[in-house]
Structure 1
Amino acid sequence: MNPYPSPDGDPWQQQNQQQPDPSAWNPADGYGAIEPYGAPTGGYAPVPAGPTPGGANEPVLSTIGDIAITQNTVITPGGRFPIRGTVWTVTDMTRTERSTPVWAVIVAILVFWWTCLLGLLFLLVKEEKTSGHIQVTVQGHGHYHAASIPASHRGLSAQINQQVNYARSLAA
């Protein structure tokens, strides 16, 4: 029994109560409202597929995280701005560790029981694990944007540096 009944009574006592119309629901009335893109209260507008502000339909030449680059424009979630005169920065915060995997230690112990020194060869197996992220920032014309790219493999840092150097060449 509920010691604090609601003013409308218990749910089983509410008969013929009309359900609210979902189309008349106002997102400002409740928590957790989902806003579509371009809503006046926030959210990022998607990049239009038509011609760019320069008048030409420029293809995207490269993407670095959530930064897209065309011949004359940088496109970020915060907006578009000219690429000429922008400053690009790369900060590599990755770390690569070499270690013996767990399976190799277990096999070395099991094989060591049957053949003494042959099991120790499994301890020579090494595994590389890369962790961290690479941060790319672009600033210019009153805009600043930082993209953080998680490191998935060892060569990703070199690939991102090549893409940023290409963007720098377009910005010059």
Structure 2
Amino acid sequence: MTIQPISPIPAQPEFLIGFGNVNATDYWVVTPVGTWPLADINVTSHDQTATTTHTPAWAIVMTILFIWVALLSLLFLLAKETRVTGYVAVFIQAGNQSFTEQVPVYNAQQRADVLQRVAYLQGLVGQARYRQAQLPPA
């Protein structure tokens, strides 16, 4: 004898996009402070990252070690390393409520990924508003 559930368990909606504590489905955006319909929100982002270029430590060490052998070792100082630090702040506003997510960024690929995810979320908002505008008036 097997035990059968009385009613089927409702399926959880699949998240289409997520970054930090923000997730979105076809119709809703879910944050720690609330869940809002996509058509009712505004999403903006502010890139608060800094890109700096440094001479790596290994190049300085190699220059010091080989300076007595040849002056060509000074070419090691031409090596550069790019570092990206900071965060991308994503602001979600629905009416008089808002939520800010600060997504930390450690390299250029992460920065591009977060900005693409924000752009995708903005596209979902546009699609939701279009669907809402196509509904016949009640």
| TM-score after normalising by structure 2 | 0.78
Could you say what secondary structure the match of 2:86 adopts?
strand
Task: Measure the CA separation in 1 of the matches of 2:113 and 2:92.
Answer: 17
Choose from 30, 36, 42 the match for 1:87.
42
Q: Which runs of 4+ in 1 moved over 6 A?
A: none
Shift of 1:65: 1.3
Which residue type is aligned with residue 109 of structure 1? I
Q: Does 1:152 align with 2:133?
A: no
State the 1:119 CA deviation.
Answer: 0.9
Structure 1 residue runs of 5 or longer lacking an equivalent are: 1-49
Give the total of aligned pairs. 118
Task: Write out per-residue CA displacement over residues 129-149 of structure 1, whole angstroms, 9 at most, x where no aligned residue.
Answer: 111111001111443110001
2:94 to 114, 131, 140: 140
Aligned residue number for residue 129 of structure 1: 83
Following the alignment from structure 1 to structure 2, what is the Cα–Cα distance between the partners of residues 74 and 145?
11
Amino acid at match of 2:40: G
Deviations 1:104-159 (Å, cap 9, x if unpaired)?
112101101112x2211111111111111110011114431100011111132322
Percent identity, please: 33
Paired residues of 1:130 and 1:152 also in contact (CA < 8 A): yes
Q: TM-score, normalised by structure 1?
A: 0.63
2:17 to 43, 57, 62: 62
Q: Is residue 105 of structure 1 aligned with residue 60 of structure 2?
A: yes
Secondary structure, aligned partner of 1:163: helix
State the SS of the aligned residue for 2:52: strand
Larger Rg: 1
Q: Which has the higher helix share?
A: 2
SS in structure 2 of the partner of residue 136 of structure 1:
strand
Higher fraction of strand: 2
